[in-house]
Chains A and B, each alone.
Chain A
Amino acid sequence: MKLLGRSAVLGLIVVAAGWYLTRPQPLSPDVFNGITADSENGAIIFAAAGCASCHNADDQPPELLSGGRRFASPFGTFIAPNISSDPTHGVGNWPDVALASAIMVGVGRDGEHLFPAFPYTSYNKADVQDVADLIAYLRTLPASDQPSQPHEVGFPFNLRVTLGPWKALFEGDDWALQDAATPEIARGRYLVEALGHCTECHTSRNALGGVDRSRWLAGAENPSGDGRIPNITPAALTWSASEISEYLKSGFTPEFDTAGGEMAAVVRNTSKLTDGDRDAIAAYLKAIPAIANETP
């Protein structure tokens, strides 16, 4: 009995310590000290980071970030929130640091963990200057008074406290491609791994929803159930670098098929980048390890 009591106390201490160690920790208030934001560059970051693809509503201009798109997953359905400049329903009155904390460390304005359907596990590698520019650009966009909808996520995944340990396991901020051989590949790595968050769809996940980094960009189940997200490592993506670059510009494959599904929205974003940035993405995709398709 005594032993049981001790075990219970020890167990509680472990849980409390775990809770404490993985509690939401926003960015330091001085993160933007000495930084001047440039909203023009922010528009490019906005495209590169694909914000509109999730946060705008169907059939609305990309600049109206009213939210409402639904994202089905094995853990429930996540609904993109309103991140327009509306002070009540959007993020218009969030301080810059609060927005940056959401983007880079997945901590909401009330100090809560955000669900990783929001790809802060990629954005945590973004340059602080780019995040400052992005926030300045977001503030120039129109307001929408459409209220954000609650996520439809059941027990136990709806307990945000569980996201602390999840982050401890899966929120690494190291590059998947450790050695970038040229500045162009390094730029491509930044665009793919940090801003573009390509891995969020193109890499398979484990049972806890963490990205399987041993199969980086080697394709995954489509969470919507329709088809598969393709393998884009050199094992499967055999297009030349210039063909990849052209696809990201016009949406045309070398056979003059076009991007479809969610990728059509991605190409709308990449079409706004410079040729140099699209070439960098292509160079990166040529440089990552080739991983064969999983045999079903």
Chain B
Amino acid sequence: MPTTMTKILTAAGLISVMTVAYADGHLTQDQQRGMDARQSHMGLLGFNLGPLGAMAQDKIDYDATVAATAAANLAAVAGISQDRYWVEGTDSSVEGSRAKAEIWTDMAGFEAEQTALVTATADLAAVAGDGLDALKAAFGPVGQACGSCHENYRTPRQ
């Protein structure tokens, strides 16, 4: 006849094993929403970079209105606070995430990358309607800001 204590310990052991198994395969709602939101955020950045990049690379003709609008969008998206995106437990060990663990161990460095993007996109938005040369000059730093963060805080695809 197992003692009460044995039963309690067994139950506690089972619960902890199940909790680990659950945590291993499932995300909480907050984790999933954070990942979805930040990936949507990146999608919006990429979408607005499209026409700007194509003009900077001479693939489409320069259009001041299109350029100014896309650059304003880009700066607006870059300025959205990311505070609630980076939920603990959503690094690249989780299916669908490419976020390096360094985001959480070096949050100050990660935030500095975001600030660099805010600055570069604001500078681009200020001149994107002023002609192709102005756009090209301000576009480079935006690419560098994207690349710098992806270099330090994103893993390759699985």
Contacts and interface: CB of A to CB of B under 8 A. Distances in A.
Real complex partners, A and B?
yes
Interface of B: 46, 49-50, 53, 57, 92, 98, 100, 140, 143, 146-148, 150-151, 154-158
B92 A226 contact: yes
Nearest to B140: A250
5 contacts: A226-B92, A251-B146, A252-B53, A256-B50, A260-B151
Contact of A227 (B50, B57, B92): B92
Contacts of A54: none
Contacts of A265: 151
A222 B158 CA distance: 9
Interface residues of A, number: 21
B46 A256 contact: yes
A230 interface: yes
- Chain B at the A interface: SS class: helix
B143 A252 contact: yes
Given A227-B157, A246-B57, A250-B57, A260 B147 contact: yes
A251 B92 CA distance: 22
A258 B92 contact: no
A251 B143 contact: yes
Contacts of B148: 264
A251 to B, nearest CB: 5
A108 B157 CA distance: 36
Contact of A260 (B49, B57, B140, B154): B154
Interface string A242-272: 0000100011100111111101110100000
A229 B156 CA distance: 7
A213 interface: no
A227 B98 contact: yes
Contacts of A250: 57, 140, 143
A160 interface: no
A255 B157 CA distance: 15
B156 A260 contact: yes
B69 to A, nearest CB: 16
Contacts of B98: 227
A257 B151 CA distance: 12
B114 to A, nearest CB: 15
